[in-house]
C-alpha cells in the first residue's frame, strides 16, 4: 500500500504586525472586544507589493529544506488560496517557476479557509494513485487585500501568511495521510463571500460575512468532520495526539474541544498571534507545533477546517 508521508513543513509570516490597538484607531472597536470575542491579539500584514506567491515561495523553500528534498524531486504543487496573485495563471505556476521545478503539474485550489485540507486530500489522492511522487501542498493568503478596512465585523479577524508541507509517496509506510473527509454545502454560499469577482462584477470584491451564523455552523460541522475522519480510519478520537484546527476564532476552537471532550492542551492554537489566515492557518499552526517540539514523528495529528462555501473537512495524519 502506498501512503503520502509528510516529510517536512515550513511557514512564512510577513514582517509587519498589526495590533488590535492599531486597528482600534481605524475602526470602532477595542482590544478588549477583539480578544474577548475572538482571542486574536495581532496579525501579520503583507507589505506593499508582497504577493501571495512571495509568501508561498518562502514557506515552500523551508518545507523542502526540512524535508531534505529539492526542486528536482517535486512533481506536484497544489496552492490553496483565495487571494491569488492574478485571476490567472494560477499562483502555483509562479511558485513552480520560482522554485525551479521543471516537471509535473502545479495548480491552485479554492476552498477558502478549508483550502489546505482540500489540497492535502487532492495531493494525497494523486500520490496514492501514482500520478506523482513528491508533492508540495501550500496554503498561502494575502487576505488583507480583500478586507473592507471599514467593516469592523470582518477586518479584525484576518491576517496574511503561508504554510507548506512536503508529501512523498512511500510503499508500505506506517506514517502518512491516513484518512481525509471533505464536504461542501453550497446552500450556505451567502454566509461568507466576496461581493465581487471576475465574472460577476469584473472586480475582486471584499469579504462579507454573517459572523454569528458562520460561528454556529462552524462548531457543528468541524466536530462532525473530525469524527468522520477518525471513523474512516477506525481510530478513536482519544488516540489523537494533537489537534491542529483552522485558526478562525478561539471560541470556535474551545467550543469544538468542549463538544468532543478534547483536552484543550492537545489543541494547537496560534489564533492570538496570526489571526485567521484562511487556507494558510492549518499548515502555519502545524509548523509552529513541529518547531516548538510538541508535534513529533509518530504522533497522530488531526487537522480540520471550515470556510466559505460553506466548505469543511478534516485530515488524519501519522507524522
Q: Which residues participate in catalysis according to the annotation?
A: 113, 246, 276
Q: Is 211 in the site for ligand ACO (CB under 6 A)?
A: yes
CB of 215 within 8 A of CB of 249? yes
User: What are the φ/ψ torsions at residue 295 (nearest 5 degrees)?
Assistant: -85, 120
Query: For the chain, where are the alpha helices, taking DSSP H only?
Result: 20-24, 31-38, 52-67, 91-99, 115-128, 152-155, 211-233, 250-259, 271-274, 281-291
Minimal distance, residue 115 CB to ligand ACO, in Å: 11
> Which residues from 40-79 bind ligand ACO, rule CB under 6 A?
none
Given the complex with ligand ACO, which of 220 and 299 has the nearer CB atom? 220
Task: For residue 158, say if its preceding peptide bond is cis, omega within 30 degrees of 0.
Answer: no
Q: Is 82 in the site for ligand ACO (CB under 6 A)?
A: no
Q: Is 212 in the site for ligand ACO (CB under 6 A)?
A: yes
Candidates 84-92, 165-173, 198-206, 208-216; binding stretch for ligand ACO (CB under 6 A): 208-216
Q: Is 248 in the site for ligand ACO (CB under 6 A)?
A: yes
Q: Is 156 in the site for ligand ACO (CB under 6 A)?
A: yes
Candidates 167-175, 195-203, 212-220, 286-294; binding stretch for ligand ACO (CB under 6 A): 212-220
> Which residues from 185-204 bind ligand ACO, rule CB under 6 A?
192
CB of 179 within 8 A of CB of 315? yes
Rounded to whole angstroms, the Cα distance separating 29 from 208 reads: 18
Number of residues that bind ligand ACO (CB under 6 A): 23
Position among 267, 306, 314, 317 found at the interface with ligand ACO (CB under 6 A): 306
CB of 244 within 8 A of CB of 303? yes
Give the up-direction half-sphere exposure of residue 24: CA atoms within 13 A in the CB hemisphere: 12
Rounded to whole angstroms, the Cα distance separating 227 from 302 reads: 10
Position among 37, 61, 208, 259 found at the interface with ligand ACO (CB under 6 A): 37
Contact residues: ligand ACO, CB under 6 A: 29, 33-34, 37-38, 113, 152-153, 156-157, 192, 209, 211-212, 214-215, 218, 246, 248-249, 276, 306-307
Amino acid at each position: 500500500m502506498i501512503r503520502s508521508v509528510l516529510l517536512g513543513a515550513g511557514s512564512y509570516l510577513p514582517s509587519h504586525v498589526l495590533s488590535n490597538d492599531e486597528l482600534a484607531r481605524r475602526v470602532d472597536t477595542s482590544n478588549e472586544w477583539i480578544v474577548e470575542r475572538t482571542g486574536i491579539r495581532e496579525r501579520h500584514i503583507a507589505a506593499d507589493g508582497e504577493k501571495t506567491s512571495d509568501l508561498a515561495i518562502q514557506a515552500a523553500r523551508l518545507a523542502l529544506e526540512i524535508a531534505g528534498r529539492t526542486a528536482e524531486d517535486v512533481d506536484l504543487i497544489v496552492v490553496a488560496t483565495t487571494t491569488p496573485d492574478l485571476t490567472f495563471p494560477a499562483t502555483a505556476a509562479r511558485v513552480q517557476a520560482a522554485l525551479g521545478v521543471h516537471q509535473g503539474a502545479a495548480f491552485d485550489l479554492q476552498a477558502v479557509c478549508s483550502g489546505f485540507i482540500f489540497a492535502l486530500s487532492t495531493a494525497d489522492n494523486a500520490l496514492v494513485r501514482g500520478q506523482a511522487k513528491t508533492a508540495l501542498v501550500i496554503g498561502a493568503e494575502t487576505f488583507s487585500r480583500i478586507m473592507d478596512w471599514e467593516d469592523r465585523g470582518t477586518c479584525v479577524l484576518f491576517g496574511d501568511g503561508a504554510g507548506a508541507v512536503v508529501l512523498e509517496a512511500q510503499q508500505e509506510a506506517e506514517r502518512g495521510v491516513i484518512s481525509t473527509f471533505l464536504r461542501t454545502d453550497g446552500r450556505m454560499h451567502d454566509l461568507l463571500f466576496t461581493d465581487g469577482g471576475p465574472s460577476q462584477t469584473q472586480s475582486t470584491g471584499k469579504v462579507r460575512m454573517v459572523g454569528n451564523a458562520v460561528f454556529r455552523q462552524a462548531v457543528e460541522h468541524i466536530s462532525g468532520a473530525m469524527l468522520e475522519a477518525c471513523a474512516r480510519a477506525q481510530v478513536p478520537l482519544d488516540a489523537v495526539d494533537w489537534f491542529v484546527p483552522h485558526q478562525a476564532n478561539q471560541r470556535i476552537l474551545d467550543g469544538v474541544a468542549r463538544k468532543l471532550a478534547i483536552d484543550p492542551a492537545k489543541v494547537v492554537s496560534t489564533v492570538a498571534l496570526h489571526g485567521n489566515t484562511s487556507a494558510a492557518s492549518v499548515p502555519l499552526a502545524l509548523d509552529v507545533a513541529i518547531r516548538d517540539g510538541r508535534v513529533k514523528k509518530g504522533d497522530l495529528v488531526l487537522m480540520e477546517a471550515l470556510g466559505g462555501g460553506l466548505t469543511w473537512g478534516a485530515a488524519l495524519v501519522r507524522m
